[in-house]
Amino acid sequence: MDINEILKDLNLGLIQDFAFCKGMEARNNFRYINFYETCIYVKTIQSDLIISSNNLNKNNNEIENKFYARIICLTIYEYFNDINNILGKELSDELKEINFLEFITSLNEIGKEINQLKKKRTAFFKEIRHETIAHRNKSKTKLLEQIFNIDEEEVLDISIETIKLNTKLISLFSQITKKISQYHTINGLLKNNR
């Protein structure tokens, strides 16, 4: 599957998740809100990483490559900071509440894999994020040295690892969404609750 097809499918999923959330919000029903907001967040990160990695991978302009590498580092650093909360207690409690217990173990396993990558790579991303894009070094020559010292291949490798883990997560979310759909096909529309 080429990148345009992947992004098309990802964007369609984002739009569907967003429409579902807005529809539920209009009915004042928040039964699956944590789940769908998690889907939206993870798919947005996935889209950002795929677009940035693709541009980093096919670009011949060094300064543009460094830009995409810095964007990837910023994105992954922030994602790693957010992921434990996003995949944490609220989402697990929501899955328990709707009796989708069979998904919690897989969710926890993927979360552990992401945390292993996070532990291994946070320092790398933190330095690039802090020194070259978020806070930026006060010394302009030091800033440029740091930018040109970014190892684009290492950034791309970690981005691909993160994309693969997110793909597992999105696949799990697809299974949950399918089960929600099947449940309501049999049991009808949701009643207002929560």
Whole-angstrom distance, CA of residue 55 vs CA of residue 46: 14
Gap between the Cα atoms of 68 and 52, Å rounded: 6
* Residue 110 pLDDT: 96
CB 103 within 8 A of CB 97: no
Instruction: Render pLDDT for 42-86 as a digit per residue (tens, 0 to 9).
Output: 999 999 999 999 999 787 899 999 999 999 999 999 999 999 999
Q: Band of the pLDDT at 117, cuts 50, 70, 90?
A: very high
Q: Are 13 and 39 in contact (CB under 8 A)?
A: yes
For residue 130, the 8-state DSSP code is: I
Single-letter residue type at 192? N
Q: Shortest CA distance to 104 belongs to which of 112, 7, 145, 121?
A: 112
Q: What residues have CB less than 8 Å from 62, skipping those under 6 apart?
A: 148
Return the closest-CA partner of residue 100 out of 161, 183, 166. Answer: 183
> What are the C-alpha distances in Å from 169 to residues 71, 132, 187?
22, 30, 27
Mean model confidence pLDDT for the chain: 89
Q: Between residues 143 and 136, which one has the greater pLDDT? A: 143
The yes-or-no verdict on residue 128 having pLDDT over 60 is yes
Asked whether residue 192 carries a pLDDT value surpassing 60, the answer given is no
The two structure tokens encoding residue 14: 């984002």
Neighbours of 92 (CB within 10 A): 18
Triad 34, 37, 38: Cα angle to 5°: 80
Query: How confident is the model at residue 100, as a pLDDT?
Result: 92
Backbone φ and ψ for 7, nearest 5 degrees, come out as -65, -35
Cβ neighbours of residue 102 closer than 8 Å, sequence gap 6 or more: none
Q: What is the pLDDT of residue 1?
A: 64
pLDDT in tens, 16-36: 999 888 888 888 877 888 999
Query: Residue 137: helix, strand or coil by DSSP?
Result: coil
